[in-house]
Amino acid sequence: MRTLLLLLLSLLTLPLAAADKPRQFRAGAATSNLTPPIGGAIIGGFHPFPSTHIHDELNARCLVLDNGETRLAIVVCDLLGASREVFDEARKLVTEETGLPGAHLLMSATHTHSATSALGTNRFQINNPLDPYQAFVARRIADGVRRAMNNLAPARIGWGTGSEPRHVFNRRWFLKPGTMPMNPFGSTNDLVKMNPGRASKDLDKPAGPTDPEVCLLSVQTPEGRPIAVLANYSLHYVGGVGPGHISADYFAIFCDRLQELLHADRQTPAFVGLLANGTSGNINNIDFTQPGVKQENYAQMRLVANDLAQVAFTALQGITYHDWVPLGGQLRELEVGTRRPTPEQINRAKEILARPKTLPRAATLEEIYAERTLGMAQYPARLNIPIQALRVGDVGITGIPCETFVETGLELKARNPFKPSFTHSIANGYYGYLPTPEQHRLGGYETWLGTNRLEEQGSVKIVTALLEMLAKLK
């Protein structure tokens, strides 16, 4: 009996087992500069042109979360987009240098139209070697994640939502009968037009909804000092930059303004704001029912960013913070088909490109899409594309490597087992626009061969797979 009592006393005095120790949540954030040299081609439009000035720096904005059991990293890059090869190289570097599992690293691009290309020289070829700027971007993403890990410190986390409907408009419109212009494929069969002109007498009605929700994930020290805020909003970009300017668009202005509102300036480590592009493939900042108003460069960007930051700041005041939350991540290769040009489309494209050019001039839209048609003819018939799902407490985050239509984002929010939930578009790669099957039937720019690369059922297959992944994380 005496021996048994001594044994029990010795067990009671042993140190707590690791599983019995209080669980501690940590977070760290950092930025990593991605700004290219002046002179590289700005690729936001059909006709790239060299940059002449850097208005504001481009960054990879990095957030790392660690609950003692699982570690996640989220990176939002001030880029129009980046090829899968860039993100794959960054993922490889991060895993090799930190041990972070690849499925736990989500990277996306904001889709600023005032950046030089991290997409490579030919978007219709895969597995290309990285060019110097792409290699630089991959290296800097990895450096940013490592810096964020170096800044890991005790933290608490919360989430919430706001709404800003004033700045989101569906950019695809039905027009009045007989007013649809010819598309680059020689057809007037499109039922909708992208960016149809402001206050036009030909306008009928928008061809889809918008999503005004502002989703927020906030981390701060146990004492309440802000560490980082990850926001998500479904607005394509704003634009209105100076001639030849490199700029991160309204995304960076939002982050700067939110930092001011939170009184988080000049902290050590620095506060990091992140604004990810949601499902904005058919959403922009133009109210086509109203005539345009001439503005100074960057004025509209500041208006949108400041309004959005105020909505985010107000929503943050009502957030409940948690000392520990579960974390999880899944990354999946999803096989999908691609759009295939018909023999007639290929022959027409060759005929267009064979026409003589009498004067040096920019390529016409017809010529641009003839080149894209031939590019798609060489594109693989099937692809494995990366899709991703993360769990952060009650929050579900998905990543799709396309310019995703808002209908897909709304469906994922409605059917998601996590609340709130949101999607990063242009995540882990870039495969063009992703219309829904219903929007495919309407035609228009976002559905044109070459603008859209994946099969018409692509969005359906992606949503189905992501919901399966989220269910496993739940």
Would the pLDDT of 10 be above 80? no
Q: Lowest mean pLDDT: which of 236-245, 271-280, 358-367, 417-426?
A: 358-367
Residue 18 has pLDDT above 70, yes or no: no
Cβ pair 451, 339 in contact under 8 A: no
Average pLDDT over residues 119-127: 87
Strands 382-392 vs 327-337: parallel, antiparallel or unpaired:
antiparallel
Using the predicted structure, report yes or no on whether residue 24 has a pLDDT greater than 50. yes
> Structure tokens of 35?
């700004």
- Segment (H or E) for 423: strand 421-424
Is pLDDT of 188 > 90? Answer: yes
- Predicted confidence band at 358 (pLDDT cuts at 50, 70, 90)? confident
Residue 312 has pLDDT above 90, yes or no: yes
DSSP 82: B
267 versus 126: which is more confidently predicted?
267
Give domain limits for the chain: 26-169+206-331+386-448+456-473, 339-377
CA 390 to chain centroid, in Å, comes to 14
pLDDT computed for residue 7 by the predictor: 45
pLDDT tier for residue 359 given thresholds of 50, 70 and 90: confident
CA distance 11 to 29: 41
Q: Which residues contact 456 (CB under 8 A, 6 or more apart)?
A: 339, 435, 437, 440
Per residue in 442-465, pLDDT (tens digit) is 999 999 999 999 999 999 999 999
pLDDT for residue 1 is more than 60: no
pLDDT at position 193 over 60? yes
Tell me, what's the pLDDT at 150? 98
Q: Quote the pLDDT of residue 376.
A: 97
Identify whether the C-beta of residue 60 lies closer than 8 Å to the C-beta of residue 115.
Answer: no
pLDDT of residue 21: 65
**DSSP code for 1:** -
Q: The pTM is what?
A: 0.94
Of 24, 29, 392, the C-alpha closest to 227 is: 29
The predicted pLDDT at position 20 comes to: 58
pLDDT digits over 44-78, tens only? 888 899 999 999 999 999 999 999 999 999 999 99
Output the pLDDT for position 15: 44
